[in-house]
């Protein structure tokens, strides 16, 4: 990460390495904090996200080792490990993990990120496209019928790709990829019938994007930047930010 603490480290090791972290949520509507404060808060996000992923791994392990039993969703775990990985995560577990996404450092992620984005100045997302025109992503229309369609979607994934392509808009802040990865995990945790394996994939993706963003901060953040007029534009929570 930006301070050299590995996202792959166990959560307890990460927590011990970080020590006391100034809550970035203090910066809601406030001035630009020192870069070190934002970096420490970002590392705390990594700690908390790693803990969520760890619980999902535990839940996946429990599902594969348990006998058939009803969950509070009325769903079942299975004796057969091949079937157990498809067992839905209990609603109580989903609710608990979802609440953790919106508390502490994870809950204040967007506040932290907007501060770091200011220190990154003109940097953009490592995943950003080179072209801004979203409609250029649409498949080229072919044939009389295709030319009549607006837009021309050729497969079920096209609408989703179009909507989420704004994540890679070069005008977006470099932290946007992490935000939307967290939002996908958040939406997954709100969905009945999702599995621990599926959610773990979302959590892993968010962690990878967070690590990429932290590396960008470490490499390119301008620690000498002074901007006394800047006010953090982020709300305290990120649940309603973006799409």
pLDDT of residue 36: 95
Distance CA 4, CA 135 (A): 40
pLDDT confidence of residue 123 = 65
pTM for this prediction: 0.70
Residue 60 clears pLDDT 80, i.e. is over it: yes
Strand pairing category for 76-77 and 69-70: antiparallel
As given in the structure block, the two tokens for residue 94 are 């989903």
Average pLDDT on 25-44 reads 88
| pLDDT at residue 237, rounded to an integer | 84
pLDDT at 77: 47
Taking residues 84-88, what's their average pLDDT? 71
Pick the more confident residue, 8 or 216.
Answer: 216
What per-residue confidence (pLDDT) applies to 82? 54
Helix-strand-coil split of the chain, %, nearest 5? 55, 0, 40
Average pLDDT of the residues in 152-175:
57
CA distance 205 to 56: 13
The predicted structure's pLDDT at residue 83: 52
User: Which residues are CB-contacts of 75 (< 8 A; sequence separation ≥ 6)?
Assistant: 87, 88, 90, 193
pLDDT for residue 51: 97
Angle between helices 11-18 and 35-65 (to 10 degrees): 160
pLDDT at 69 exceeding the cut of 90? no
Mean pLDDT across the stretch 191-202?
93
Count CB-CB contacts under 10 A for residue 191.
12
Per-residue pLDDT reduced to its tens digit, 113-134:
999 999 998 666 555 555 545 4
Rounded mean pLDDT, 87-107: 94
**Quick one: tokens of 234?**
């982020």
pLDDT reading at 33 higher than 90: yes
């Amino acid at each position: 990460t930006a301070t050299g603490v590995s996202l792959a480290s166990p959560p307890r090791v990460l927590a011990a390495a970080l020590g006391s972290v100034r809550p970035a949520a203090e910066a809601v509507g406030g001035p630009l904090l020192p870069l070190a404060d934002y970096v420490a808060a970002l590392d705390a996000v990594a700690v908390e996200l790693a803990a969520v992923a760890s619980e999902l791994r535990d839940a996946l392990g429990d599902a594969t080792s348990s006998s058939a039993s009803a969950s509070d969703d009325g769903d079942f775990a299975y004796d057969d490990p091949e079937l157990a990985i498809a067992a839905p995560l209990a609603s109580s577990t989903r609710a608990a993990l979802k609440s953790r996404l919106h508390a502490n450092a994870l809950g204040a992620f967007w506040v932290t990120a907007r501060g770091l984005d200011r220190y990154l100045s003109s940097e953009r997302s490592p995943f950003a496209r080179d072209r801004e025109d979203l409609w250029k992503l649409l498949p080229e229309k072919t044939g009389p019928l295709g030319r009549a369609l607006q837009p021309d979607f050729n497969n079920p994934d096209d609408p989703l790709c179009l909507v989420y392509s704004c994540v890679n808009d070069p005008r977006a802040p470099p932290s946007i990829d992490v935000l939307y990865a967290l939002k996908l995990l958040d939406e997954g945790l709100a969905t009945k019938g999702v599995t621990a394996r599926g959610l773990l994939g979302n959590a892993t993706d968010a962690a990878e994007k967070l690590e990429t963003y932290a590396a960008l901060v470490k490499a390119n953040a301008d620690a000498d930047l002074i901007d006394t007029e800047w006010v953090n534009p982020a709300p305290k929570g990120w649940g309603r930010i973006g799409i």
